[in-house]
Amino acid sequence: MITSGLEDYIELIYNNISKGKDIKAIDIANKFNISRASVSEALIRLADKNLIIYEGRKGIKITDEGIVEAKKIIKKHNILTVFFNEILGANFDFANKNACKIEHVIDSELIDKINEFTVFCKENLIDKKFLKDNDD
Amino acid sequence: MITSGLEDYIELIYNNISKGKDIKAIDIANKFNISRASVSEALIRLADKNLIIYEGRKGIKITDEGIVEAKKIIKKHNILTVFFNEILGANFDFANKNACKIEHVIDSELIDKINEFTVFCKENLIDKKFLKDNDD
DNA sequence: ATACTATGTAAGGAAAGCCTAACAATGATA
DNA sequence: TATCATTGTTAGGCTTTCCTTACATAGTAT
């Protein structure tokens, strides 16, 4: 098991690497507003858990295991964001912010149900527009 | 701000007191599977924050402030449980278990939206039964 | 009353996750 | 090349939340 802090970091690492951008410790520090020292420790913990390969200045690489972890979290993140934003009508940033927290505690099976339900709603509630205050 | 552990404890305390049952430190220890010593510390922290009045063996009382806190959490808990169970069709225990975790991180405004949406679904989706595998 | 059981507290410790300050090493630039 | 800025590491600390062990007190029952 991985803590929610580490989940955030591996998620960010994967998101960058999968886009071909390389990511440095300092980027993580900036993104989450924590010190470089804390990131240094966190990266060591992630490497201990075989989710990344970390060799300081040589850069951060993600392992296959790390990719699997990251994808799980990103899947949760995306499904929650879409549900909050497109179905509940919450504004995008707010939906995203809540997804960022819930993704660390919600079970996968429930996420699947939310996803199925989102699809269902899109097919069945087109006419009955639930919320109108969706500002994006 | 209060941590999710403390939120769990104040929630349990309120749930008991509001039913006229008194609650002891050991009940909390048993419920959450933590040591009596840890509960002892947690109750001191709750008292420091003016959410309870704690005088050891004399019992645990909840303050007005504590009641407000507890009700916020219980509201989130109930809305989430109903949504997961009655709308998504998750079984009750599973719905409850997830609500227990999400209640500590979700924003109130999003909870309100989920609640409105739950009401809306109950009024509009009666015919279109979304999920059938709801086992309770 | 004595002894047993239940409950709460105190002391000491561990891990996670954060911090600052000081230092080291790399890279860019004058 | 010498200097300065960027980035990463180390050391030492702090808080929270949990633990175990040992002890203290209260309540129950013989």
DSSP string, A106-129: S-HHHHHHHHHHHHHHHHH-STT-
- What's the confidence (pLDDT) of residue B127? 58
Report CB contact under 8 Å: B120, A113: no
Q: Write out the residues of chain B at the interface with chain A, using a CB-CB cutoff of 8 A.
A: 84, 87-90, 94-95, 97-98, 101-102, 104-107, 109-110, 113-114, 116-117, 120, 124-125, 128, 130-131
Q: Is residue B93 domain-shared with residue B116, that is, in the same domain?
A: yes
Whether B72 and B108 have beta carbons less than 8 Å apart is answered as yes
Average pLDDT over residues A27-49: 96
Q: Sign (positive/negative) of CA torsion B71, B72, B73, B75?
A: positive
Report in angstroms the alpha-carbon separations of B129 from A50, B21, B40, B116, B135: 44, 39, 48, 18, 14
Q: Is residue B84 domain-shared with residue B119, that is, in the same domain?
A: yes
Question: Whole-model pTM?
Answer: 0.91
- What's the confidence (pLDDT) of residue B130? 62
Which CATH number does the domain housing residue A107 bear?
1.10.60
Which CATH number does the domain housing residue A10 bear?
1.10.10.10
User: Which secondary structure element, helix H or strand E, spans residue A54, and what is its range?
Assistant: strand A52-54
- What's the confidence (pLDDT) of residue A56? 87
- What's the confidence (pLDDT) of residue A136? 55
Band the pLDDT of A43: cuts 50, 70, 90: very high
Nearest Cβ partner of B128 from A101, A109, A124?
Answer: A124
Contacts of B106 in chain A (CB under 8 A): 98, 101-102
B52 three-state secondary structure: strand
Q: Hunting for tokens 């994006």 — which residue is that?
A: A136
Q: Residue A131 falls within a domain, yes or no?
A: no
pLDDT tens, B45-97? 999 999 999 998 899 999 999 999 999 999 999 999 999 999 999 999 999 99
